[in-house]
């Protein structure tokens, strides 16, 4: 399985699960994490992670109602929102996704359902720097 780390075989090391949101728990608001997040509950908000080894594991009972931006993900639950995965995405057989899926490397099992576009990205989207504000007003 993708979530297990196989050291010494040439595969990238994946972060160990450091955070668990259990079944019966609902979080209303955005969640930002580092390392590994295992979700069996519900998040009503965006989910994002920092670090190239971060991993989101969404169990069959888990649900996210919002945008997902992570380096690696294993999806086996329900996501209502766009998904942006910078490295590796595994979509398991019970996954139900309503939104566009942006991925670099994809593994998808039979039975998964996606209602949206599958968009390959050779590199994660770059964020433009914020414009510098100078106190001067531009003349037209």
Let me know if residue 98 belongs to a domain.
yes
Domain boundaries, position 96? 43-112
Give the pair of three-digit tokens for residue 20. 């668990």
Distance CA 33, CA 12 (A): 20
Residue of higher predicted confidence among 139 and 30: 30
Let me know if residue 54 belongs to a domain.
yes
Distance CA 108, CA 92 (A): 6
pLDDT at 15: 65
Q: What's the pLDDT tens digit per position in 71-126?
A: 999 999 999 999 999 999 999 999 999 999 999 999 999 999 999 999 999 865 56
Let me know if residue 80 belongs to a domain.
yes
pTM of the full structure: 0.78
Q: What's the pLDDT tens digit per position in 26-73?
A: 999 999 999 999 999 999 999 999 888 999 999 999 999 999 999 999
| Total domain count, the chain | 1
Let me know if residue 51 belongs to a domain.
yes
* CB 13, CB 31: distance < 8 Å: no
């Amino acid at each position: 399985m993708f979530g297990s780390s196989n050291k010494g075989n040439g595969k990238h090391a994946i972060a160990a699960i450091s955070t668990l949101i259990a079944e019966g728990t609902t979080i209303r608001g955005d969640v930002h994490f580092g390392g590994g997040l295992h979700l069996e509950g519900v998040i009503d908000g965006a989910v994002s992670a920092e670090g190239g080894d971060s991993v989101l594991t969404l169990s069959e009972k888990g649900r996210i109602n919002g945008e997902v931006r992570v380096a690696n993900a294993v999806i086996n639950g329900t996501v209502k929102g766009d998904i942006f995965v910078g490295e590796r995405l595994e979509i398991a057989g019970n996954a139900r996704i309503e939104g566009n899926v942006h991925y670099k490397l994809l593994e998808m099992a039979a039975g998964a359902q996606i209602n949206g576009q599958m968009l390959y990205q050779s590199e994660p989207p770059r964020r433009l720097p914020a414009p510098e504000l100078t106190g001067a007003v531009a003349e037209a």
